[in-house]
Amino acid sequence: MSDQFKQEAAERAAEDVQSGMRLGIGTGSTAEFFVHALAKRVEAGLEVIGVPTSERTAKLAGELGVPLTTLEETPDLDLTVDGADELDAHLSLIKGGGGALLREKIVAAASDKMVVIADGSKEVETLGQFPLPIEVVPFGLGATRRAIVQVLTDLGLPTNLELRGGDDQPFLTDGGHFILDARLQAIGDASSLASRLVAIPGVVEHGLFIGLATKAYVAGEDGVKTILPIQ
Catalytic positions, written as ranges: 104
Rounded Cα distance, 100 and 56, in Å:
10
Q: For the beta carbon of residue 139, count every other beta carbon within 10 angstroms.
A: 9
Is 29 within 8 Å of 97 (Cβ atoms)?
A: no
What are the φ and ψ backbone dihedral angles of 6, each rounded to 5 degrees?
-60, -45
Cα separations (Å) of 118 from 17, 98, 138, 197, 199? 17, 14, 32, 26, 30
Is 206 within 8 Å of 194 (Cβ atoms)?
A: yes
The one-character DSSP state at 182 is E
Rg (CA), the chain: 17
